[in-house]
Structure 1
C-alpha cells in the first residue's frame, strides 16, 4: 500500500464521472419517478389520502394491504367518495373505505414451518456453556416461527397485492417486516446453514435468482414499492456460503448467470470513476436509487421532511437521496448527512462508501473462485483482475493515512468523511487492500484508530457511530450485521490484539442478546451498546422483535467462539423462563401474519 502522510492529499482525489444511466431513469424526469408504477401502492390520490388521514400509525400498514377488487374499480369508488363530499382527512372515513376495499396486512401469507428443521443441530454440541447451549437451541427454534409461504393467489392475481411473488418459502426478519429483505437474508442464511437447513436456504437463494431475472438485481425487499432500489449486494456471498456447506456445484451452475447479472447491474448502474492520489482513475461503487417521490412505506415521514427543505432545494433529489440511503441498509444515519442530524441535508449519492466496495470486492473474489470451480478459467481470471483493481482503488481513494483507517469519500467536497463509523474497518473483513495479504502494520494502525476513537469501551457491543443523531444507524445503537463484520474483520487479523478484541466483542454481544432474551423472551433487531438493552426509540418505527439477522449472528458467534464463551450472571434466571419459548413462538407468528 502506498501511504503518504500529507493532510492535503485528499485534494488530489477528484471525481471524473458521476451520472445516471438510461437503465436508472430511462430519460424520464426524476420528479415523475415513484417507487413503482402502481397508482394504489406507490403514488396517487388514494395513497395520499390514506396516509394524510393517519388511518394507521405506521405508513407501511396501508401499502401492505391486499386489494379486494381491481385497482381501477377501487379508484373509481374513491373518486365517488370524494365527489360526494366525504371528509377525506378523517381517519374514520378513510378507515371505513379501506376496510371495504382492502384486506389487512399479512393475509397473503401462510404460516409455514420448514420441513428441514431438526431438533438439535450438530454445532451446538460444541458450545461449552450449558446455559448458552440451551439458549442456542431456543434461538434455533425461532426459524419455525419466522417461516412464511406465499399463497398461490399472489401468483395468480399479482396485481391485487403489493407483495412480490416468489416460488419458495422464506424466513422473514419479523415484526413489521413480514416479507423478505435482501441484506437481512444474508445473516439469516448464515444461521440457517448452521441449523443444517440447506433445503430452505436453497429455496431462498432461488427466490433471489428469480428476482434478478425479473428486475436485474435483488430488490430491497419483497414488495413492489421496493422494486426500484436494492440493498448491499450479498447474494453472491450467500451462494458462496451455501456452496461451502453443501458442495452443491449443480445449483451454483444454475444460478451463476443471475449472480453475474446482478454484478453487472452494480458495475453499470451504481459505478463512479474517480482519480486517486496515485493520479490513476479508479472505478468504485455507490448507492444511487433513481426515485424522485416519497417512499410509500414511509410516506408521511418523507412528506414532512420535504416540506422543511430549504428554498431552492430540489425535492426530487431529496427523495432520491433518501431512497439511496435505504439502498445502503443504513436508513438513516449521520453518515449520509451534510449537517449533523438534519435529514434534509442528506447527500447519499455524493458518498462513495467503504462497506459497499468491500462487499463488491468480496463478490468479485467469490465469483472468481466459483468460476474456477466450474471450469470457467477465463471468467475466473477476469474476476480476479477485478479484485486486484478494487484493492488498488480502495487504497488510492478510501485509505486515510492521516487517520490510519479507511473512510467514506465525498465526491462533492473532494474530502473523506472524517468521522467514525463501524464500516471504516471493513476492508479487514476480506483483506481488500494492498495485495490481499494482511499487513500487520496497517492492521495495527486500525486497532490504534479504534482505541483513539474510544469505541471499544461499551458493555453492550460495538457502536455504529459516535454521533447521537437520534437516527437508528447512529450512536448508541449496535446492529447484528455490523457486529458480525467487525468481529470477523478483527478475528482474521495477524495482530494478536485484534484477535483478542474480536473475542471480547463476541462475548459482549452474546451477553447483551442473552440478557435481553432472559428478560423479554425475545430477540431484537438492534440493541443499545451503552446499556445492553433493546432500544425503545430512534428511527421511523419502533424496535422490532423476531429477529432474523440477530438470530443468525448469535448462532454464528456460538459456533465460532462457543468453546470459550460464557453466559453472563443472569444465567441463574434463565431456567424458569426459557420453557415459555413455544408459547412466545406461537404469539409471534400470529402478530407477524396480522392475526392479532
Structure 2
C-alpha cells in the first residue's frame, strides 16, 4: 500500500496562488492524525492487510455471496492470532475454510427496515424508518473494521451498515423535514469529528474506506445547520471546513501547469481543478474479486492503474458509470483519474464560497477575500473548460485535452451550487429536458451500459440536485416535472412492494438494477429526498 502524505495544519496547504499569502490569519484546522504505513494512526488495519492470506482465500473462493460481508465481519480474536492459526491449519488434512471463518468471525446481518402496516402512507412510513436506521457506535469491539463515532447517525440500509459521506447530506435534508433537527446536527458533528480525527471525511466509517473520501458535501451540511443555528454555525465549523479544503487541495501549491497530484490537476493554462482519487492502488477489499476480474480484462494496462481508477470511481459516488469509461462500454477501460468532473468542481466552488462566508463571520478576519478570489478563479475555469458548446456543462479529459460529449445528470451541479451563468443554466436545462427526463424522474445518463450509474436508473440525490438547481435559476416547470415524476415512481413501488429502495428504473416503474450487488432496501437518501419533494409538491390525497 502506498502511504498518504501528511496533511498540513494550516490552510496554506490548499492554496496555490501567491495572492493567498494572507491566509495565515485564518483559524487553523486541528492537526490531522499522522499517516503511517497501513493508513492513519490509530485506525485498525484493513482486513486485506491484517490477515492477507486468509482474506484472499475467503474472497477468491466466494465464501460469502457479497464480498463486503467478510470485511465487515468481526474478528473474535486478535487478527495476528487468527492469521497465525490459519497459516498453521490450512495445510492440514480436512481443513474447512468456511468452518474456520465461522469459528473466528462474527458476521453482520443487513440493516433492517421497518415493517409496513396496512394502509400506511408514504410519509408516515419514512418517519417510522428513521429510528430503525439510526445507529450508535461510540465504542466498537476490538479489531472491528468499524470506526467509532461520538454521536447517533442514520445508515442507508441493507448492506450499508455504517455512516456514508455524501449519502448523509440527503438523509439530513429528510431528517430536518421530519423535525429531527437534533439527529441531523449529531450527524454533522460526527463528520466534524472524522475531519478532526483523520484529516478528512472517509467514504464510509470502515477502516477500508479511509484511503478515499466521497463528493464533498460537508459545506452543504454546515449550510443546512446554519439555516436554524445562524452565524454561530459557520464560526463553529470553520476549522473543519478549512481542513476539508486542505485535504482536497493537497499538493496544489507546488503543482506546475500540465501536472496532477492526488486530487488536484493544473491545466496547461494554469487553471486549477480537482479530480477523484484514492491513496491505494490495490483491489478494494469490499469488492476484491470484482476488481481483480476487471483488471484482468485490461491486459494492456498495469493492474495498479486500473485499481486506482476503480477506487477513484468509488470516491466519486458514481460507481460505476460510462462517465469514467474510455470506450463508454467496458469497465476495464475506466480512467477516472484522467477526468476533471463537473460535479466535484462545482462542489469545491461551494466549499470556497462557504469558507468565504464563514471567514466573514469571524471578527477582523481578512481571509474572506482570499476564498472569494479562489471561488471566482474556479468559476472562470469552469466556464472556460467545463462547458460543451452543444449546450451543457460536462467533464473534461485533462490527459486528452477534450470536453466530454456526454450529457449526464452531473451537468446540473453548476446550477445547484450557483456557479453557472444565467444563460448557460437555461441552455443546460434544455439539454437535460431533451436527453435525460424520463417517466420516473431524471436519468443518470442516456446510455444503458449495465452499470448502475447509467440509464435507466434514477437516483434520489440527483433528483434533488436537479430540482433545487433548476428552481434556483427559475426553471420551475422542468424542476416540477422531474420531481413529480420521481415521486410517482417512488409511490408506485411503495404501493406495490411496500418499501423504498436505493435506486429506481426511471422507465419501468420498478427498482433499479446493474452494478456489483443486488438492489438494497432502506433507504436513507431516498427517504430524505422523497420528504423534500413531498414538501415542494404536495397533493391533497397525500400522493403525488
TM-score by length of 2: 0.86
Aligned: 1:475 with 2:455: yes
Q: Which residue of 2 aligns with 1:201?
A: 184
1:387-417 Cα deviation digits (max 9, x unpaired): 21111010111012x2111110001211111
Q: Say which of 441, 444, 469 aligns to 1:461.
A: 441
Higher relative contact order (CA 8 A, sep 6+): 1
Distance 1:161 1:274, change over 3 A: same
Distance 1:565 1:262, change over 3 A: farther
Aligned: 1:161 with 2:144: yes
Paired with 2:426 and 2:453, the residues of 1 have a C-alpha distance of 27
Q: Which moved more, 1:143-152 or 1:179-188?
A: 143-152
Q: Which residue of 2 aligns with 1:261?
A: 243
- Secondary structure at the aligned position of 2:499 is classed as coil
Aligned: 1:281 with 2:270: yes
1:489-524 Cα deviation digits (max 9, x unpaired): 211223xxx320111111111111111111111111
Distance 1:342 1:240, change over 3 A: same
Distance 1:112 1:255, change over 3 A: farther
Q: Which residue of 1 aligns with 2:166?
A: 183
Q: Say which of 290, 298, 304 aligns to 1:301.
A: 290
Number of matched pairs: 495
Distance 1:509 1:564, change over 3 A: farther
1:136-155 Cα deviation digits (max 9, x unpaired): 2221221011011126343x
1:506-551 Cα deviation digits (max 9, x unpaired): 111111111111111111110001012112x300000100000001
Alignment of 1:488-503 (within 5 A): 488-494=468-474, 498-503=475-480
Distance 1:192 1:65, change over 3 A: same
Q: State the Cα distance separating 1:106 from its structure 2 match.
A: 5.5
RMSD, aligned α-carbons: 2.6
Q: State the Cα distance separating 1:42 from its structure 2 match.
A: 4.5
Distance 1:529 1:153, change over 3 A: closer
Aligned: 1:484 with 2:477: no
- Secondary structure at the aligned position of 1:152 is classed as coil
1:181-207 Cα deviation digits (max 9, x unpaired): 000011011111122222212221111
Contact 1:219 1:231 in 2 (8 A): yes
Contact 1:232 1:359 in 2 (8 A): yes
- Secondary structure at the aligned position of 1:509 is classed as helix
Contact 1:558 1:565 in 2 (8 A): no
Aligned: 1:555 with 2:536: no
Q: Which residue of 1 aligns with 2:263?
A: 270
The structure number with the bigger radius of gyration is 1
Paired with 2:234 and 2:495, the residues of 1 have a C-alpha distance of 40
Alignment of 1:175-574 (within 5 A): 175-247=158-230, 249=232, 252-268=234-250, 269-275=262-268, 280-311=269-300, 313-375=301-363, 377-400=365-388, 402-434=389-421, 439=422, 441-453=423-435, 455-456=436-437, 458-494=438-474, 498-535=475-512, 537-562=513-538, 567=543
Q: State the Cα distance separating 1:478 from its structure 2 match.
A: 0.4
Paired with 1:202 and 1:378, the residues of 2 have a C-alpha distance of 29
Q: State the Cα distance separating 1:39 from its structure 2 match.
A: 6.2
1:78-101 Cα deviation digits (max 9, x unpaired): 0111232456xxxxx222111111
Q: Which residue of 1 aligns with 2:59?
A: 51
Q: State the Cα distance separating 1:165 from its structure 2 match.
A: 0.8
Contact 1:112 1:148 in 2 (8 A): no
Please, which runs of 5 or more residues in structure 1 have no aligned partner?
Answer: 1-19, 25-31, 88-92, 114-130, 569-596
Paired with 1:451 and 1:196, the residues of 2 have a C-alpha distance of 34
Paired with 1:376 and 1:206, the residues of 2 have a C-alpha distance of 26
Please, which runs of 5 or more residues in structure 2 have no aligned partner?
Answer: 8-36, 251-261
Paired with 1:267 and 1:64, the residues of 2 have a C-alpha distance of 31
1:355-398 Cα deviation digits (max 9, x unpaired): 00111111112222222234364122222222211110101110
Q: Say which of 72, 75, 84 aligns to 2:92.
A: 84
Q: Say which of 68, 71, 81 aligns to 1:63.
A: 71
Distance 1:208 1:34, change over 3 A: closer
Contact 2:321 2:451 in 1 (8 A): yes
Q: Which moved more, 1:196-205 or 1:292-301?
A: 196-205
Contact 1:466 1:474 in 2 (8 A): yes
Paired with 1:444 and 1:150, the residues of 2 have a C-alpha distance of 46
Q: Which residue of 1 aligns with 2:256?
A: none
Paired with 1:431 and 1:243, the residues of 2 have a C-alpha distance of 18
Contact 1:232 1:329 in 2 (8 A): yes
Paired with 1:188 and 1:39, the residues of 2 have a C-alpha distance of 27
Distance 1:176 1:70, change over 3 A: same
1:107-136 Cα deviation digits (max 9, x unpaired): 9x9x999xxxxxxxxxxxxxxxxx99x422
- Secondary structure at the aligned position of 1:541 is classed as coil
Aligned: 1:38 with 2:45: yes
Paired with 2:542 and 2:414, the residues of 1 have a C-alpha distance of 30
